[in-house]
Amino acid sequence: MGISFKKALVTGGAGFIGSHIVDALIGKGCDVIVIDNLSTGHMSNLEHTKGKMSFCQGDIRDIDFIMKKAEGCDVIFHQAAVVSVPLTVEKPVDSAMVNEIGTIHVLEAARKNHVKKVVLASSCAVYGDDPEIPKNEEMVARPQTPYAAQKYSNEQYARIYNQLYGMNTACLRYFNVYGPRQDPSSPYSGVISIFMTRAAKGESPLIYGDGRQFRDFVFVKDVVHANLLAAGLEKSDKNVFNIGTGSYIRINKLWDMVCRLSGASIEAEYAPPRAGDILESVANIDNAKKILGFEPEYAFEKGIEKTFEWYRNQPQTERRP
């Protein structure tokens, strides 16, 4: 697909999803500015893009910084966030300063600089423990954690900026994103990256709950494609979209699949469920299909093979910025 914009700003561009967005933009000839405070992002994720984009280390809590970097941009892909749910439970105020105030800074910078489009990363966590499956965008939000509440707040600010200032915004509710570059060194990392690291080391994973809980896992390149589609969308009555696959994998089965890929035969260990964890989550992606033209291209088996191939080639040491 082609793109209709020439200059883009990616917040959190040294992170897992952000760096893949950077790759796609560069591949389409876009002038890219990346900002990241490197609290969880890694310069190693951008090593191959040196000379092809402009990197600026800074924080979205700094309104003057983000205001200056948004100058002349056609679109902003807002990925920067405290993404650890447990960390937002532990530090709700600190995380809100990033996830809420930082997002308002991004929106305000876009408004003052006449940026044509802002695409914001939201989360399926906003649905909370609503038992209805699959999740659709018309459901009442039931945030159960500060992280979920902060993401839902971002959606509301995006809607308000659309209504008050005519800003073109889109919020993508990511389901469980996985793929190369997802950092396994943090205890808050995605379950797939943790499982793959454990299997490579011959160690048992710790599964919270009985392992029968399930998730809609979506490959990072499909998420990137959704971002580009959203950036090219003209104003619409709908600006919140589920980004997933519409199918699910149980956590126990996920561990079995990782074991098969790695050749390991290791029994998992179990612990009580964590506060804020959601038991069942599957996306209804009808709106994304109809309005964005989004269609997941990576079946889970294909995506997890590509992910494992990447992890297998990584040194088994903690990655640092």
Q: b or e along 279-309 (b: 16 or more beta carbons within 10 Å of the residue's beta carbon)?
A: ebbbbbbebbeebbebebebebeebbeebbe
CA distance 246 to 213: 16
CA distance 321 to 313: 19
CA dihedral for 301, 305, 306, 307, sign (positive or negative): positive
CA distance 11 to 104: 13
* The two three-digit tokens of residue 118, written as one number: 């802002």
CA distance 223 to 288: 11
CA dihedral for 106, 108, 113, 117, sign (positive or negative): positive
| Closest C-alpha to 41, from 315, 310, 319 | 319
State the catalytic residue, choosing from 147, 152, 157, 174.
147
- 147 is an active site residue: yes
Largest interatomic CA distance in the chain: 57
* Eight-class DSSP state of 127: G
Query: Please, which residues bridge with residue 120 across strands?
Result: 78, 171
DSSP SS3 for 302: helix
CA dihedral for 126, 130, 131, 132, sign (positive or negative): negative
Active site residues: 147
